[in-house]
Structure 1
Amino acid sequence: MIATCCGYFISPASDGSGIPVMRALFAGVYQNPGDMLSFRTLIAKSLSTVIASGSGLSIGRAGPFTHLMAMIGFLLNKLALFRRVNFGQENYNFIRAAVACGTTANFGAPLGGLLFSIEVTAKYYEIKCLWEGIICSSVCILVFNVISFIKRDVLFERTTFPGFDMDMEIFAFVLLGVVTGIGAGIFCRVAMLMRSVQMKTFAKLGLNGPSLKRRTVHIVSICLITAILTYPIRIMRISDRQIVNEVFRDQDLSFHQWTQLSEHPQVTLFVYIFIKFVISILPCGAPISAGVFGPLFTIGAAVGRLYGETLMRYWNPTQSPATYAVVGAACFAASATQTVSTAVIFFELTSQLSHMVPVMTAVTVAYFVCGAISPSIYDIMAGWAGLHSVCYDLNEHVLSQKVAQNYMTPVLATFTTESTYEQAIQTLNTFKTEEYFPICDGAETQLLLGCIRRYDLEIAVARFIAAHRKQMPDAKDPNVSLRVQKLVSKILDIDKKQTATVENYSLVDFQPKDASSLTNVLELGPPFREYTFTTVPVECYPPQVR
């Protein structure tokens, strides 16, 4: 309850995994990342992640860590030591490096975490940003190992398996890939079905809109079902990390809880997989900070161990059941999230490069099997959040049936190269809720050249008025908004105090011109220094229109 209240009272942006939000941010869905990466969201996400992780729910931390590190990177960028432009591609590269650090901190695998962060958050990635992510991940894993040494604790125990010789047993790994791929596909499909049932139930209860009552009903129901299913089975009380280390260990299952239901631990292991499968689906889409990768990891490890134990009973494989547990964990997590880089994470976690062939083969098979059944769990969660534009489940046939006009909204105000300051003032007063205005080459052709933020337009008007306040008879036009007048005062104050600290450099470097009327043509680009100009954080503003 406390975790979901963080999202309701502090910041709703803290709810969910965080990976769909990062994917939408890098895709340009959020033109202004202030809400998603604000300090309030950081506080809410931190509290919700810690409290939810200790609540006993079957949730992961990969997504929340990714979002947390992105917020820390964004806020660090505002410090004088790290300051760049407020928005723009450089700032987004800064956030991308932070995201890589978040995944590294969760897995303890720098290269795998970096590749995973690229695969789940970026549709397009600039290769020049790779070294920034590598440096960030390297420092992160250094601190991670230092803390582990001080605590005398490790995330996952190192495995020591016999080497793999290419023989008929490769088909056993292929079959494991098929099994885990089907299981991951069922997981995603059941999650979609559960969401549909939840929405219908909320509609019947009259809980259609976001409210504290709806959050309460949702979270209480999840906690109640989880408690009912897990309390009678003692093995369900053991943490995911302990379970993973247990099934990865190249020896018999040693926990005494394995014999609660039967003298054969495999029976309890099967029950564990079933219950873990159910309780891991329940938090998906819940109004708390919760990831999904950790439970997928654990389910896959348990499935692989059960598969290996079964082979040992009816066949005589050369590889131990623990080897199949490692491969099963990689396959289940990779197929459900549709990320091949998960295999690299497992190579780093287990240090078993000798098993590269079976792991990569099984992961590839599981990837395609799950992809034929269902979209990835991250695409599903992005769809629940209304971020359908960043989902990867659209094939060419579906795209060919879509028409642009079905997704377009009419633009009521545009600027051209001939627009005046007077028109800019009228537009700002008329369209008070618009945050961006398109810039076209002409009123008739309407060829899009770029766009400008409302705040940048206000700065352009304020800079012009401040520079020509003495020559312009209409400088104190009553139509000029109070916000613009405050910007004028700030600009004049900066002009008087040249040594003052300037937080927004786009307010300075205005130059008086011969013109002295608001009917002058609006200037949206230099003469002021180009690197101080702020604009939308996408590379769709090619010409600096003047």
Structure 2
Amino acid sequence: MITALIACIIDISIEELSTRKYAALSDYVDKYVVEGKLYIPFLIWVVFNVVPVFIGSTLVSYVEPIAGGSGIPQVKCYLNGLKIPRVVRIKTLFVKSIGVICSVVGGLAGGKEGPMIHSGAVVAAGISQGKSSTFNRDLGIFQFFRDDHEKRDFVSGGAAAGVSAAFGAPVGGVLFSLEEGTSFWNQGLTWRTFFASVISTFTLNAVLSAYHGVPGNLNYPGLLNLGKFEAFNYQLYELPIFVLMGVVGGLLGAIWNHMNFKLAVFRMRYIKKCWLKVLEACLVAAMSATIGFLMMFFIDDCKPLGQDPTKYPTQLYCEDGQYNVAASIWFQTPEASVRSLLHDPPNTHNAFSLASFVAVYYLLACWTYGLSTSIGLFIPTLLTGAAWGRLVSVGLAYIVPGTTIAQPGKYALIGAAAQLGGVVRMTISLTVIVMETTGDISFALPLILTLIAAKWTGDFFNEGIYDTYIQLTGVPLLPWEPPPLVHNIYASEVMSHPVVTLKCVENVGHIVELLRLTTYNGFPIVDPPISDQSEVTTYGRIRGVILRDQLIVILKNKIFNETADCWEEINSNLLGMNILAILQLMIYS
């Protein structure tokens, strides 16, 4: 419920601010285009973009850098047993929420859906512990859940609730946590997570329905609503076309990931200072306004009224009942643009305007993701894919005139799924999310074929964008599969021999000598072999691993069996543990 309420606050804030922003811009354009002073609405547009982005980027850069981006790579690491500092703090949630509102209102090529997953994870981690590190308050409740296993399970449910609130897809939320998140799963966690996702969707639906003036109607299950498709039929001979579109999406996704990786490396090397990060974000916001302004005035997607073309080369004026389609894509939020591309009738967009938008927005989204702002990549990727998917339908209609298969909305949806799958490499969860968002289960086969083709094609060149950012941050996350070149390498080929081990009880001199002569960071603790064996064929049964820094702490503080008063005192403080105490703690925790 809390995750859904946060999503409602973010969505309502973005809608109210965006409505006022684009209404004001429209009025300024109508006012100054007759006077020939188009630079005035252009400058106003730049200011309307730069100011909120400056606020959001400043919060991320100076207050809480971990709140940047979508937060999905950090949550994925946390769910796989790796603790990322401050990733589930309430200050992170505050900066994330304010930052994503500023980023979307500022016209950046991003969406609010991805950050909702991180927000849900923070909410789950916070309320399940009954305390706050940010406010230094402990309510003294829920102490049973204060261990890594329980907290990780709650974060899994929170991430699923965030997906459910973002897309109105409770089943997709569960599958997202299973496919992209936690590596520890069980049946009990499945139904708890699903129940949390359903409650999240219902709460958001009820609040947004009341906000839109139809309380109880429940037509707003998620922040992203792709709309219902009335006729969504496909023929058997269209399946190869869908697979080919998946291959294209995989190629475009691989190129997108590679360019974004190079850009991220450049930022890590040269854009280190906070003010430079804020400056880059503001520059991208200004560039977004500039590109939108140029495309709106120089791409003709409507019939002119008959003004002098030398005076008004932009062909902006349209007859009654018509509008400039290129302007409509830029003069609204990215979510609304996705719905337009999916549901606009045929012949609404011409090929040149679609191709221009794809080329520009593809590069702009690549530049945007990785900025020091809170923003996700789901929406810009869906928008890019929907545009080139609709372009495919235009091409089919041109190649086969009079065909009934070239439904633009259908191919726009397949293109959107292919593009997103090529970037993030999700299959099952993304299929279910799209089906739940559109409310059409009959399109499961084309979607899964498209996403598998996109994943296989993209994986041939590089990894998904989330795994790429995990590697860039240096987090030691063990992947599901080994690297391609090490499939035939055995562990014995990279191990040292003889194995340097420690017994459960060792003398100080031996430990000091071991630390001095070796450079290993960890040492296995094993039971000694049976004394009556004539030949030692084993190093003994392994009991755990102790790290070099733990041994150093023990030696510096002279914590030995002879000086340890009792097990309670030893187990209450890490500095008071001898080797056997650390071993027992590792075995039973």
TM-score (norm 1): 0.71
Q: How does 1:244-263 map to 2 (within 5 A)?
A: 244-249=338-343, 251-252=345-346
Deviation of the 1:443 alpha carbon: 9.8
Distance in 2 (CA, whole Å) between partners of 1:443 and 1:289 is: 54
- Residue of structure 1 in register with 2:276 after alignment: 214
Distance in 1 (CA, whole Å) between partners of 2:177 and 2:564 is: 54
Q: Would you say the 8 A contact 1:49–1:290 is kept in 2?
A: yes
Deviation of the 1:113 alpha carbon: 2.3
Q: Which of 211, 223, 236 is equivalent to 2:285?
A: 223
- Residue of structure 2 in register with 1:176 after alignment: 245
- Residue of structure 1 in register with 2:48 after alignment: none
Change (3 A) 1:52 1:370: same
- Residue of structure 2 in register with 1:143 after alignment: 203
Change (3 A) 1:66 1:404: farther
- Residue of structure 1 in register with 2:117 after alignment: 66
Q: Would you say the 8 A contact 2:385–2:419 is kept in 1?
A: yes
Q: What SS does the aligned partner of 1:542 have? A: helix
- Residue of structure 2 in register with 1:332 after alignment: 419
Return the letter of the residue paired with 2:192.
E
- Residue of structure 2 in register with 1:542 after alignment: 587
1:483-522 residue CA offsets vs partner (Å, 9 max, x unmatched):
xxxx99xx9xxxxxxxxxxxxxx869xxxxxxxxx99997
Change (3 A) 1:183 1:161: farther
Change (3 A) 1:319 1:407: farther
5+ residue gaps, structure 1, are: 255-263, 428-435, 459-463, 465-471, 476-486, 492-505, 509-517, 527-534, 536-540
Distance in 2 (CA, whole Å) between partners of 1:11 and 1:270 is: 38
Change (3 A) 1:348 1:85: closer
- Residue of structure 2 in register with 1:37 after alignment: 88
Q: Would you say the 8 A contact 1:415–1:437 is kept in 2?
A: no
Q: Would you say the 8 A contact 2:502–2:524 is kept in 1?
A: yes
Q: Would you say the 8 A contact 1:103–1:113 is kept in 2?
A: yes
Q: Would you say the 8 A contact 1:69–1:102 is kept in 2?
A: yes
Change (3 A) 1:393 1:309: farther
Q: Would you say the 8 A contact 1:59–1:280 is kept in 2?
A: yes
Distance in 2 (CA, whole Å) between partners of 1:438 and 1:47 is: 46
5+ residue gaps, structure 2, are: 1-53, 131-139, 213-218, 297-326, 513-520, 530-538, 554-558
Change (3 A) 1:12 1:362: closer
1:370-407 residue CA offsets vs partner (Å, 9 max, x unmatched):
22233211122222222363556852414667989999
Distance in 2 (CA, whole Å) between partners of 1:378 and 1:25 is: 13
Distance in 2 (CA, whole Å) between partners of 1:276 and 1:520 is: 59
Distance in 1 (CA, whole Å) between partners of 2:65 and 2:436 is: 35
Q: Does 1:314 align with 2:374?
A: no
1:82-109 residue CA offsets vs partner (Å, 9 max, x unmatched):
4424223122111111111111111111
- Residue of structure 2 in register with 1:375 after alignment: 463
Distance in 1 (CA, whole Å) between partners of 2:178 and 2:234 is: 33
Distance in 2 (CA, whole Å) between partners of 1:251 and 1:87 is: 54
Distance in 2 (CA, whole Å) between partners of 1:214 and 1:443 is: 58
Distance in 2 (CA, whole Å) between partners of 1:522 and 1:123 is: 29
Change (3 A) 1:270 1:76: same
- The count of corresponding residues between Structure 1 and Structure 2 is 456
Distance in 2 (CA, whole Å) between partners of 1:54 and 1:280 is: 15
Change (3 A) 1:76 1:68: same
Change (3 A) 1:405 1:197: farther
Q: Does 1:269 align with 2:354?
A: yes
Q: Would you say the 8 A contact 1:161–1:250 is kept in 2?
A: no
Q: What SS does the aligned partner of 1:389 have? A: coil
Q: Which of 164, 168, 171 is equivalent to 2:233?
A: 164
386-395 or 344-353, larger mean C-alpha shift: 386-395
Distance in 2 (CA, whole Å) between partners of 1:407 and 1:53 is: 51
Q: Would you say the 8 A contact 2:251–2:422 is kept in 1?
A: no
Distance in 2 (CA, whole Å) between partners of 1:171 and 1:443 is: 62
Aligned CA RMSD, in angstroms, stands at 4.3
Distance in 2 (CA, whole Å) between partners of 1:248 and 1:519 is: 62
Q: What SS does the aligned partner of 1:299 have? A: helix
Distance in 2 (CA, whole Å) between partners of 1:324 and 1:520 is: 65
Q: Which of 102, 109, 114 is equivalent to 2:162?
A: 102
Deviation of the 1:331 alpha carbon: 1.7
Q: How does 1:377-416 map to 2 (within 5 A)?
A: 377-387=465-475, 389-390=477-478, 394-398=482-486
Q: What SS does the aligned partner of 2:123 have? A: helix
Q: Would you say the 8 A contact 2:110–2:334 is kept in 1?
A: no
234-243 or 441-450, larger mean C-alpha shift: 441-450
Q: What SS does the aligned partner of 1:282 have? A: helix
Distance in 2 (CA, whole Å) between partners of 1:220 and 1:285 is: 13
1:9-68 residue CA offsets vs partner (Å, 9 max, x unmatched):
3223222321111121122232xx562212222222222222222221112334321221
- Residue of structure 1 in register with 2:384 after alignment: 299
1:218-251 residue CA offsets vs partner (Å, 9 max, x unmatched):
3234334333323322332322111111122162
Distance in 2 (CA, whole Å) between partners of 1:16 and 1:367 is: 22
1:245-272 residue CA offsets vs partner (Å, 9 max, x unmatched):
1122162365xxxxxxxxx633212211
- Residue of structure 1 in register with 2:70 after alignment: 17
Deviation of the 1:285 alpha carbon: 1.9
Distance in 2 (CA, whole Å) between partners of 1:473 and 1:388 is: 36
- Residue of structure 2 in register with 1:260 after alignment: none
Q: Which of 132, 150, 156 is equivalent to 1:90?
A: 150
Identity of aligned residues (%): 20
Q: Does 1:449 align with 2:544?
A: yes
- Residue of structure 2 in register with 1:483 after alignment: none
Change (3 A) 1:406 1:2: farther
TM-score (norm 2): 0.66
Q: Which of 332, 338, 345 is equivalent to 2:433?
A: 345
Q: What SS does the aligned partner of 2:372 have? A: coil
Return the letter of the residue paired with 2:422.
S
Q: What SS does the aligned partner of 2:460 have? A: helix
Q: How does 1:192-203 map to 2 (within 5 A)?
A: 192-198=261-267, 202=270
Distance in 2 (CA, whole Å) between partners of 1:520 and 1:333 is: 51
Q: Does 1:76 align with 2:76?
A: no
